[in-house]
Amino acid sequence: MGRRYWNINLEDMMEAGVHFGHGTKKWNPRMAPYISAKRKGIHITNLTITACFLSEACDLVFDAASRGKTFLIVGTKNKAANLVASAAIRARCHYVNKKWLGGMLTNWSTTEKRLQKFRDLRAEQKMGKFNRLSKGDAAMLKRKLSIFQKYLGGIKYMTELPDIVILVDQQEEYMVLRECVILGIPTICFIDTNCDPDIADISIPANDDAIVSIQFIFTKLVSAICEGRSSYIAI
């Protein structure tokens, strides 16, 4: 399952701007092996290396999906939020795209209680129980429900810790990465030139600020997960 299989093309990556890093002043020296040049004060990522890591990540998620494993995708910054939701929905993964509530994974029992409360409220609303309440009480529960929906909507069907976590932007999602490391959950992380490539299990050096770049990486990962899932069902 080499690069050809996942159709990871260097020209397509350049078109998507995957190679643009941060300004040279905002870099992490540990990223040196993944940087091929400096251009107009910006570091340029070596796309051949990116292609290798992306291919490896696709192999990993394909294999995991073909064994029925579960995924959580996390990306809470504005530019990534919609892409995270649509990628997760396409690949039938759990996701968090608004705000990471500290301890979501490390304090799983609390998260489970919140999810149960969320499910109960949704059921009550569906059964029309809110209509029997006073206007004030109904409004309060609806507010509660919309807060749950905002922060937990993407994980409402998650019944246990995920097998693999995919993160957009290491800096932004550092708390999540730490929780995964503590719990020993394998991680795939999009990393820009200001990140530490050694924390995640697979770090994909890429522009994590441009929508087109994030979308390019997601397209590959999602198709690998979907292919893996279809072979799992076939068995």
DSSP assignment of 182-216, as one string? HHT--EEEEE-TTS-TTSSSEEEE--SS-HHHHHH
Query: Which one, of 57, 84, 63, 58, lies nearest residue 73 by Cα?
Result: 84
Pick 108-154's CATH classification: 3.90.950.10, 3.10.20.740, 2.30.30.40, 1.10.287.610.
Answer: 1.10.287.610
* Range 176-192 average pLDDT: 96
DSSP string, 72-129: EEE--SHHHHHHHHHHHHHTT-EEE-S-PPTTTTTTHHHHHHHHHHHHHHHHHHHTTG
Under the banding of pLDDT at 50, 70 and 90, the label for residue 235 is low
Give, in degrees to the nearest 5, the angle at Cα 79 between 77 and 84: 75
Q: Check whether 98 has a pLDDT greater than 90.
A: yes
- In angstroms, rounded to a whole number, what is the distance separating the alpha carbons of residues 119 and 99? 19
171, 178 in Cβ contact below 8 A?
no
Give the residue range(s) of CATH 3.40.50.10490 domains in the chain. 3-105+161-234
Tokens of 153: 């909507």
> Mean of the per-residue pLDDT values for the chain?
90
Q: Which residues contact 8 (CB under 8 A, 6 or more apart)?
A: 51, 54, 55, 58, 220
Per-residue pLDDT of 6-43, as tens digits, reads: 889 889 988 888 887 665 667 667 777 777 777 777 78
The pLDDT value given to residue 179: 98
d(CA 53, CA 204): 6
147: which 2 tokens? 């807060």
Residue 79 pLDDT > 70, yes or no?
yes
Intervals of CATH 1.10.287.610 along the chain: 108-154
Place of tokens 């569906």: 126
Inter-axis angle of helices 135-152 and 108-126, nearest 10: 130
**What is the model's pLDDT at position 32?**
76
Say which CATH superfamily domain 3-105+161-234 falls into.
Glucose-6-phosphate isomerase like protein; domain 1 (3.40.50.10490)
140-163 pLDDT, tens digit per residue, is: 999 999 999 999 999 999 999 999
